[in-house]
Structure 1
Amino acid sequence: MTTRAAFLKLLTRKLHPVLMAEGFEGSGQTLRRIEGPVIHVFNVQGASGGKQCYLNLGAHLDFLPTEGGGQVAPAEIEESHCVFRDRLDPPAGEAHGWAYGRSMEEAEETVEFIVSEWAGPGRGFFAKHGNYPQGFLQMLRETDLARIHARTALHLARIALHLGEHSIARTLVDTGLAKAPERATSLKADLERVLGN
């Protein structure tokens, strides 16, 4: 059985140089890339059971409150603070994250696959949340209001307001308020505050 430490060492040796060549900085399990207001976070999170890990992707804008409502310095932000989050998923059938493997050979195969997956889904996530302001304007215009979650509407309304898109912000606030569960009083209050209601 490959240990977590051995797997992380292998991941650091193979994947970190790829990330750092693309502007990520840091060491250990969290790397960040800061370009203007855009903050990107890559994080390795151990799964319960000690046999696998998750590869978390986060994107944030420095003028937004963090997920949960706080403020964190860009150089210290964690993936869990980001308003846009995803995971680099393992192959179909892997139920709980990326398995460390039963041998170093298996671990090496897994890490090679992770590096290849970075080129598609990993880069794709960050590209979608990378071009400010144009990429975020496009995101606002392409948002499907019928499928949006109330909390996502809050984040996008704040972005719209920051970009001077007041009518889009108003529509997002109204949509968020309509979709927010009755008990979500703090979420509703945050939505109402976006436009100073």
Structure 2
Amino acid sequence: MNTKDFRKLIRVYFAPKLHEVGFMGTDHHFVKTTDNHFIYTLVIQADKSGGSCVMEMGVHLDFLPNSIGEFKSSNEITTYDCEFRKRLNKNPNWFKRFFTVERERWFQYGETEDDAIVTIHEMKQLFLHQGMTYFSQFNDLRVITSISLAEIIARSKKIENFGAPLDLRLALLIARTHKFLGNDRVAKEYAQWGLNNIGKAKGLIKDFEGICRGRL
């Protein structure tokens, strides 16, 4: 089965359930806005060679630009714009766990429509259980502001579970969130740490300096 036909089946067997839990979208990009500044996204990314796909979730903040400095509306934003990103992989059985590669964790379309429908139901159940649990972590901006510099430096398990960006981008995101909330002193602490540890990420200097000077 090709990707075009598989996406037609997603519209019938998966999209309606996503709509029930607040997402908008049709066949491979889905977005949900919240009242607490978080934007949840889901992309069903097709393998460029065809025959399989993977689900990737994203979380972004509506007052922040994406990684290349663009502000996008909820109608435009996709998982690829999000700062927090996490793949939702199928769980291999014990045999595959030991004897196959990561590619086996992609969802195979199958040869027939019935095969594809079985795959889509598996994807739907995985999303409703693990995917919605992932999104539920992001329910208050304090989830962001509670991340300490020590946790960033150690790349704590919590940060890994969030699918957070790497240390400097995460520090910038936290600094911007504190700034948005009016916590100027703490925002400057994170920004100054970023400047002190900038390394080769020269492109972020102006962003950190802006926060130190009182800009978001």
Q: Under TM normalisation by the shorter chain, which class is it?
A: 0.7 to 0.9
Instruction: Mark the CA change 1:114 to 1:179 in structure 2 (over 3 Å): closer, same or farther.
Output: farther
**1:95 is aligned to 2:102:** yes
Identity %: 26
Does the 8 A contact of 1:58 with 1:79 survive in 2?
Answer: yes
Q: Please point out which of 192, 199, 204 is paired with 1:174.
A: 192
Does the 8 A contact of 1:145 with 1:175 survive in 2?
Answer: no
CA shift, 1:73, in A, is 1.9
Tell me what 1:28 maps to.
Answer: 27
Q: Which moved more, 1:97-106 or 1:43-52?
A: 97-106
CA-based RMSD: 2.2
Tell me what 1:67 maps to.
Answer: 67
Q: 4+ runs of 1 displaced by more than 6 Å? A: none
CA shift, 1:94, in A, is 6.3
Q: Deviations over 1:56-103 (max 9, x none)?
A: 212222210112111112221122112222221223356333221233
Question: Which runs of 5 or more structure 1 residues have no equivalent in the other structure?
Answer: none
Does the 8 A contact of 1:58 with 1:86 survive in 2?
Answer: yes
Q: Please point out which of 136, 141, 144 is paired with 1:139.
A: 144
Q: TM-score, normalising length from structure 2?
A: 0.78
CA shift, 1:108, in A, is 2.5
Q: Deviations over 1:12-42 (max 9, x none)?
A: 2222111111111232321221223322222
**1:185 is aligned to 2:180:** no
- Opposite residue 55 of structure 2, the aligned amino acid is L
Does the 8 A contact of 1:140 with 1:168 survive in 2?
Answer: no
Q: Deviations over 1:84-137 (max 9, x none)?
A: 2222122335633322123334322221211111123211222122x2xxx221
SS at match of 1:181: coil
SS at match of 2:86: strand
Alignment of 1:1-197 (within 5 A): 2-36=1-35, 37-92=37-92, 93=100, 95-96=102-103, 97-129=106-138, 131=139, 135-143=140-148, 144-146=151-153, 147=155, 149-182=167-200, 184-196=201-213
Query: In 1, distance between residues paired with 2:14 and 2:186?
Result: 39
CA shift, 1:9, in A, is 2.2
CA shift, 1:43, in A, is 1.7
Q: TM-score, normalising length from structure 1?
A: 0.84
Does the 8 A contact of 2:55 with 2:87 survive in 1?
Answer: yes
